């Protein structure tokens, strides 16, 4: 018999289910805070990426509770065009903004992604480097300065905040730390195959790692501000570098070492429905993710379908797209020296197309030659003191290059003429041609 008591229990049960469902729906409707922490001129030279020489405890702790990407890439191996890609969601060659510190306009009717976030109700701040090759038109950030901070937002508003830590910049490699404050022993650093192994080169690499440790402390401070405010459970976090290390042949050159960046994404439990596929604490993803994907991804997290003009693909959020087969990069004018290079990466092979092969790799760039390694490397070449791998940087380029990262992490063995790698070369060449035509 169906009694009143059983009916009451049924009503209570259904009410509980409805309340839970409503709470879950509200959680899914509530916009998450989004925090981006950027470091400058550093590749994945971090403990969480298996670099035992590195000292990066704060980023390592973040990685243990987040998803770490091993194949994340900048589109350009230098800051301004890389940041231009992120702010626009468009490849810089498509907007005429590929050259370092060039300045052009966004196509008519297009907006920089923070403008879309503002329309969705976000309080958007940038602290503080911009360095876009595109003119800012209309309202982009609520605040963009050294004082810009999410804590200044109106009560109840979700925030999107970017903090750019520049202490690891190329210029700080030559700005020597006092001996008593040095952290990394130059005698123990790994020297890549393309650099000469000299005491001064070792000092530069050790100094680079010291600056990463300093940057790591700032990352920890930025994360602590969010947790101390009780907002960690409502904040999605990205940590990433803006391109490869500031050492010569990393920065400014579109090898994997110049384009590969660390990327760590943390999604709190409240927003797991927005997490990337396969997300788990301490997880690792080899999915190809690029800066071209950042703008559509942040809009997807906020629930907005990315505008059709954005050329990347969201890798998480409501409008996440399937994983891509290739990642693309480029090199244009670097400061006072012109070049034209395009690259394709497929998780194993790096294909490089040099459109100006008559120009040497190491064209004179005044700013780059301030780094001791560059000067010593150049002097040793002209003194005939380098081996073949070390000498190539000061010579003209082949039209095509192909490197197998599985067997050649330093990208010194060009396989473009290898019979065994014809299929890989042909496939990546075709992907390159299609991308150039599409863009």
Q: Which positions are catalytic?
A: 79
Query: Which residues pair with residue 289 across a beta bridge?
Result: 72
Both tokens of 415, joined, read 């396989």
Bridge pairing between strands 341-345 and 327-331:
antiparallel
Secondary structure of the chain as H, E, C letters: CCCHHHHHHHHHHHHHHHHHHHHHHHHHHCCCEEEEEEECCCCCCCHHHCCCCCCCHHHHHHHHCCEEECCEECCCCCHHHHHHHHHHCCCHHHHCCCCCCCCECCCCCCCCHHHHHHHCCCEEEEECCCCCCECCCCCCCCEECCCCCHHHCCCCCCEEEEEEECCCCHHHCCCCCCHHHCCCCHHHCCCCCCCCCCHHHHHHHHHHHHHHHHHHHHHHHHHHHHHHCCCHHHEEEEEEECCCCCCECCECCCCHHHHECCEEEECCHHHHHHCCCCCCCCEEECCCEEHHHHHHHHHHHCCCCCCCCCCCCCCCCCCCCCCCCCEEEEECCECCECCCEEEEECCCEEEEEECCCCCECCCCCCCHHHCHHHHHHHHHHHCCCCCHHHHHHHCECCCEEEEECCCCCCCCCCCCCCHHHHHHHHHHHHHHHHHHHHC
- Return the half-sphere exposure (C-beta side, CA atoms, 13 A cut-off) of residue 287: 23
CA distances from 122 to 117, 125, 160, 166 (A): 5, 9, 6, 25
Sheet holding 67-69: strands in order across? 143-144, 123-127, 159-165, 33-39, 235-241, 263-266, 67-69, 283-285
Supply angle C-alpha 327, 332, 337, rounded to 5: 150
Instruction: Report CA 221 to chain centroid distance, whole Å.
Output: 20
Question: Residue 79 in contact with residue 166, Cβ under 8 Å?
Answer: no
């Amino acid at each position: 018999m169906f009694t009143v008591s059983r009916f009451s229990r049924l009503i209570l049960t259904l009410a509980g289910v409805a309340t839970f469902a409503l709470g879950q729906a509200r959680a899914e409707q509530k916009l998450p805070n989004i925090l981006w922490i950027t470091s400058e001129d550093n590749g994945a030279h971090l403990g969480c990426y298996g670099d035992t020489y590195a000292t990066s405890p704060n980023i390592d702790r973040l990685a243990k509770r987040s998803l770490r990407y091993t194949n994340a890439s900048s589109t350009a191996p230098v800051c301004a065009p890389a940041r231009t890609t992120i702010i626009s969601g468009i490849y810089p060659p498509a907007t005429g903004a590929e050259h370092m510190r060039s300045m052009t306009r966004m196509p008519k009717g297009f907006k920089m992604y923070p403008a879309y976030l503002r329309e969705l109700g976000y309080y958007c701040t940038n602290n503080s480097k911009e360095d876009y090759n595109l003119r800012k038109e209309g309202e982009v950030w609520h605040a963009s300065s050294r004082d810009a901070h999410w804590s200044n937002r109106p009560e109840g508003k979700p925030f999107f905040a970017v903090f750019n830590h520049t202490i690891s910049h190329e210029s700080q490699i030559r700005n020597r730390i006092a001996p008593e404050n040095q952290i990394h022993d130059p005698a123990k650093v790994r020297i890549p195959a393309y650099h000469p192994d000299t005491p001064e080169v070792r000092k530069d690499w050790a100094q680079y790692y010291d600056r990463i440790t300093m940057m790591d402390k700032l990352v920890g401070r930025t994360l602590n501000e969010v947790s101390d405010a009780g907002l960690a459970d409502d904040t999605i976090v990205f940590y990433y570098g803006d391109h490869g290390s500031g050492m010569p042949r990393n920065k400014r050159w579109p090898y994997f070492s110049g384009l590969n960046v660390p990327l760590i994404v943390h999604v709190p439990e409240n927003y797991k429905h927005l997490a990337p596929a396969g997300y788990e604490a301490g997880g690792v993803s080899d999915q190809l993710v690029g800066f071209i994907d950042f703008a559509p991804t942040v809009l997807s997290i906020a629930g907005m379908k990315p505008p059709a003009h954005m050329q990347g693909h969201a890798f998480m959020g409501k409008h996440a797209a399937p994983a891509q087969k290739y990642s693309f990069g480029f090199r244009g004018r670097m400061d006072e020296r012109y070049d034209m290079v395009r690259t394709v990466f497929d998780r194993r092979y790096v294909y490089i197309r040099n459109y100006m092969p008559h120009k040497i790799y190491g064209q004179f760039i005044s700013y780059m030659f301030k780094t001791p390694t560059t000067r010593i490397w150049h002097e040793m070449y002209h003194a005939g003191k380098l081996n073949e791998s070390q000498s190539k940087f000061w010579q003209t380029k082949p039209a095509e290059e192909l490197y197998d990262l599985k067997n050649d992490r330093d990208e010194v063995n060009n396989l473009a003429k290898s019979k065994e790698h014809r299929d890989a070369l042909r496939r990546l060449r075709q992907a390159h041609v299609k991308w150039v035509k599409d863009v």
